[in-house]
């Protein structure tokens, strides 16, 4: 009888412990709260192989999830204590979620997922939703046009490499192969130069330096100008000369949201990185920009082939270089 009673008590305690480990809500390390019934979104996979913090059940054990569910909606159906610390003051929690399009159940270590960007913390807020990406082929055509540069074999080969990598390799290996397609690709490039749309708002993503929160102005100072004397923003092999950029070097953010941003960016680190990423919205200028004078450097030789003039019309700042989520703030 005593054995039965002891066994019964143990079962009750075990059940109580299980129930106690299940929660209806959890506060994450950045200060936000997730509740059962909320819908969250998956982010990008960190590699082509699998997520590291999103799992599926397979033969009674959890394994990394391999399917790409980027931006999929995930309904939270259960929250459990993961029995380990995320930081000294924050417990890790495991969410059971239902992927809404397939109905599949998945398991997420939520604090780690937010930190790594496998779950979206803050969706993008687009200043210009219809903006067009300023791709490498457009940049090439634009630079040649505004600087009135001749189209050379080097430019045509680079243009081919952007359009057809296999053909580019063949052209590099065989001059007759290149000669057979040269006229066609030269015409394509010249057409892009002649028909470039200067009325469109374009965007590029580029690294920024984000300073500590300014409590007087309520926001974050940012810097994206590498050389203050020149005033150019370096973007790959190109240099953008903005007609004005000072108004875009401060991102207004409320103190309440700034606190959340700092916690999110810090994660488990002992410091907050000063690196962030900006989506820059520009309207290209159809003119040859003047270069600074120098008695030491030949500025024409150094910069003419890479310089593009533009009106900067907006900047958004994000945690990750893809600039698709984990929004910090924006200004236009």
Domain range summary for the chain, segments of one domain joined by +: 20-116, 197-331
Burial of 43 (0-12, 13-18, 19+ CB in 10 A): buried
Q: Is residue 56 exposed (0-12), middle (13-18) or buried (19+ Cβ within 10 Å)?
A: middle
What pLDDT does residue 2 have? 52
Pairwise pLDDT comparison (17 vs 42), residue with the higher score: 42
Q: Is the pLDDT of residue 8 over 50?
A: no
How sure is the predictor about 13, in pLDDT bands with cuts at 50, 70 and 90?
Answer: very low
According to CATH, the topology of domain 20-116 is SH3 type barrels. (2.30.30)
| DSSP codes joined into one string, 25-66 | EEE-TTS-EEETT-EEEB---SSSS--SSEEEEETTEEEE--
d(CA 120, CA 289): 40
Where on the phi/psi map is residue 244: left (φ > 0), alpha (ψ -120 to 50), or beta?
beta
Torsions phi, psi for 178 (to 5 deg): -65, -45
Query: Facing residues of 250 across strands?
Result: 221
- Give me the sign of the Cα torsion angle 160, 161, 167, 171: positive
The answer for residues whose C-beta is within 8 angstroms of residue 164's C-beta and 6 or more apart is none
Residues 46-69, mean pLDDT to the nearest whole number: 95
pLDDT grade for 297, boundaries at 50, 70 and 90 = confident
Average pLDDT, the chain: 93
pLDDT band at 20, cuts 50/70/90?
very low
Q: What does the pLDDT read at residue 260?
A: 97
CA pair distance 280, 316, nearest whole angstrom: 7
Distances 327 to 31, 258, 276 between C-alpha atoms, Å: 16, 11, 10
pTM comes to: 0.90
Alpha-carbon dihedral angle through residues 32, 37, 43, 49, given to the nearest 10 degrees: 130
> What average pLDDT does this structure show over 172-197?
98
Indicate the pairing of strand 219-223 with strand 202-210. Answer: antiparallel
Tell me, what's the pLDDT at 295? 79
């Amino acid at each position: 009888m005593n054995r039965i009673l002891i066994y019964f008590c143990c079962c009750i305690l075990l059940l109580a412990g299980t129930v106690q480990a299940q929660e209806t809500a959890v506060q994450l390390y950045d200060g936000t709260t997730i509740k059962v019934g909320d819908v969250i979104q998956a982010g990008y996979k960190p590699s082509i192989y699998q997520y590291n913090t999103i799992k599926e059940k397979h033969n009674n054990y959890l394994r990394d999830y391999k399917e790409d569910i980027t931006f999929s909606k995930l309904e939270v159906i259960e929250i459990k204590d993961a029995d380990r610390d995320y930081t000294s003051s924050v417990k890790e929690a495991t969410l059971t979620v239902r992927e809404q399009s397939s109905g599949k159940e998945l398991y997420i270590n939520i604090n780690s997922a937010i930190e790594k960007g496998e779950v979206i913390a803050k969706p993008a807020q687009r200043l210009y939703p219809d903006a067009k990406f300023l791709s490498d082929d457009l940049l090439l055509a634009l630079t040649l046009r505004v600087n009135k540069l001749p189209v050379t074999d080097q430019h045509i080969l680079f243009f081919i490499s952007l359009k057809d990598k296999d053909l580019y390799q063949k052209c590099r290996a065989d001059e007759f192969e290149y000669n057979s397609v040269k006229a066609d690709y030269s015409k394509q490039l010249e057409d892009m130069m002649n028909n470039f749309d200067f009325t469109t708002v374009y965007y590029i993503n580029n690294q920024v330096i984000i300073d500590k929160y300014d409590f007087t102005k309520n926001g974050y100072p940012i810097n994206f100008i590498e050389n203050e004397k020149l005033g150019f923003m370096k973007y790959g092999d190109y240099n953008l000369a903005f007609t004005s950029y000072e108004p875009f070097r401060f991102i207004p953010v409320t103190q309440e949201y700034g606190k959340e941003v700092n916690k999110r960016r810090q994660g488990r680190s002992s410091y907050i990185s000063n690196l962030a990423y900006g989506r820059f919205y520009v309207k290209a200028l159809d003119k040859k920009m003047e270069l600074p004078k120098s008695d030491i450097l030949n500025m024409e030789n150094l910069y003419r082939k890479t310089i593009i003039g533009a009106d900067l019309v907006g900047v958004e700042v994000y945690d990750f270089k893809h600039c698709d989520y984990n929004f910090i703030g924006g200004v236009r």
